[in-house]
Amino acid sequence: MENYKLASVKPSVAEFKVGVDNVIFSVDTQHNRLLILLVKRYKEPYANYFSLPGTLVRVGESLEAAADRTLSEKIEVENLYLEQLYTFGEPGRDPRDQKNNQDQRYLSVSYFALVRYEDTNLITTGNRKAVWHLLKETPQLAFDHNRILDYGYQRLRNKLEYSPIAFKVLPEAFTLNDLYQFYTTVLGEHFSDYSNFRARLLKLGFLTDTGLKVSRGAGRPATLYRFDEDAFALLKDKPLVFI
Amino acid sequence: MENYKLASVKPSVAEFKVGVDNVIFSVDTQHNRLLILLVKRYKEPYANYFSLPGTLVRVGESLEAAADRTLSEKIEVENLYLEQLYTFGEPGRDPRDQKNNQDQRYLSVSYFALVRYEDTNLITTGNRKAVWHLLKETPQLAFDHNRILDYGYQRLRNKLEYSPIAFKVLPEAFTLNDLYQFYTTVLGEHFSDYSNFRARLLKLGFLTDTGLKVSRGAGRPATLYRFDEDAFALLKDKPLVFI
DNA sequence: CCAAAAGTGTTACAAGTACACCCATGT
DNA sequence: ACATGGGTGTACTTGTAACACTTTTGG
């Protein structure tokens, strides 16, 4: 209302560039390590800091396409899960906001991704090569990326408990122990008793026995299971907790 | 990589205006009606269509501040819950994307709000006055706002099941029936047996008896309860389902 | 034969579901 | 007194948590 009294004080609309920043997780099941993809910045601001892989959205490009592009520029991966995370946009979150142009703002739409570690191929050419980092040893990141990462990690844990994203990222055939290790590395050692985890998962009925067995050194060979999309679809309405 | 071969084909970064669109819900407990706040557009594009209340983010303004501003321009409300919903930004989602300027994009960061119906005061001056609509009878909205609304409604239902937002929006003192009605109008008639709902809520221990009773016509007077923040804080880690 | 890994079973308890029933008030 | 809305109790089923146990392999 009061904005229209004087044309000269009518507040002006901000101009934005929109960045997409990706929180890309991967689980190295062999070594029980939860990994996060980071890139080292080579120019200001925050030169020599690590940051989340990101890019500015281009003309004619959708947000998700920008997220996908970042992924494919850094790693070659076939199997992944991708979803939007959160949008950060306070004035001043990017130092470039202040610099030359008072009206130029930078907004970050963050995306969350979980990729299959085994068939991930890091692209090491170019001057912004990406590397896997242990999540536990994440350094101080550029911009507000530590905050974005925290948010992404929270989402990862929630998603794992309430939806079947693990199966997008495990091998086609996997043992129940593989699955358990996967959950353990993300959610921590004591998220559930193995025996109860087994029982719950098998009772749900969307894991089908492939008939194949795999032997890992000594001990009884493990049954290989496969995720059955169709069987899962039948229960998609009900809670489904893996705790 | 290939972007650097020819400077002339280097893809260019898009310029954005950022809009904030609000999905504002309110529950009229007296009449068991779930309401959504809409405004009628008076100019192109989509003149005379209803749309979600929104605004463009101004210089120096945060996203959440813009959401708050929209709320306070349309309604006067003291008690509310507000959180970010999702960001929509495909090229072409706003007809203005194409129009004059090929590079100008419009991005929408949507916010979800739940406000207390009783102390809400619609501002009816100005040419974009807001009105409550029955959610069930939502008309076709401008832009992609029906999609945003659907997304917001989903979030409302989830939030109600897993977090105590209802108490931000109910009167200070309320009966268990008020609470039950609230849940019923949002989640549908058969979301839970009243007796079991009562038992579950009371067992959780964050509803404290005010000692006051209220009589609604015939029948036994109902106990007024109050939400105890501190008692609730103690259980904030564990699931908490109101189903 | 024994250690290691996989897989099964048991038991005690907590929570969820569907009811039937009792209580306090206005007319 | 009885209809009306508020509130309690119970019996049954299901889920959870902790743990002991059996099976099948390699060395």
What CATH number does residue B144 fall under? 3.90.79.10
Footprint of strand D on the protein (CB under 7 A): A 192-193, 195-196, 200, 213, 215, 217-221, 241, 243; B 175-177, 195-196, 198-199, 202, 216-223
Residue A134 Cβ < 7 Å to strand C: no
Q: Please tell me which residue of chain B has the smallest CA distance to A111.
A: B87
Q: How far is CA B189 from CA A44, A185, A186, B243, in A?
A: 57, 41, 38, 12
- Same domain membership, residue B216 and residue B154: no
Q: What are the pLDDT digits (tens) for B185-231?
A: 999 888 889 999 999 999 999 999 999 999 988 889 999 999 999 99
Domain count, chain B: 2
- Residue that is last in its domain, among B162, B186, B215: B162
Whether B145 and B139 have beta carbons less than 8 Å apart is answered as no
**Interior CA angle at A98 toward A95 and A104, to 5°?**
100
Find the Å distance, CA of residue A197 to C1' of nucleotide C11.
18
Position A74 in a domain: yes
pTM over 0.75: yes
- Same domain membership, residue A179 and residue A127: no
Length of chain A: 243
User: Which residue would you say has higher pLDDT here, B31 or A101?
Assistant: B31
Whether A11 and B86 lie within 8 Å, measured CB to CB: no
Find the Å distance, CA of residue A91 to C1' of nucleotide C15.
48
Whether A38 and A140 have beta carbons less than 8 Å apart is answered as no
Chain C bases closer than 7 A to any CB of the protein? 3-9, 16-20, 23-27
Which residues partner with A50 through β-bridges? A40, A141
Q: Give every CB contact of residue A63 below 8 A, 6+ residues apart in sequence.
A: A18, A20, A57, A84, A109, A111, B87, B89, B90
Residues of chain B in contact with residue A110, where contact means CB-CB under 8 angstroms, are: none
Position B145 in a domain: yes
- Burial tier of B73 (Cβ tally within 10 Å: 0-12, 13-18, 19+): middle
Position B143 in a domain: yes
CA distance B233 to B205: 11
- Same domain membership, residue B147 and residue B193: no
Position B37 in a domain: yes
Whether A59 and B1 lie within 8 Å, measured CB to CB: no
Domain that holds residue A195: 165-233
Q: Please tell me which residue of chain A has the smallest CA distance to B65.
A: A90
- Same domain membership, residue A22 and residue A46: yes
Find the Å distance, CA of residue A148 to C1' of nucleotide D23.
47
Q: What is the pLDDT of residue A173?
A: 94
Q: What are the pLDDT digits (tens) for A134-186?
A: 999 999 999 999 999 999 999 999 999 888 999 999 999 999 999 999 999 99
- Residue that is last in its domain, among B112, B137, B162: B162
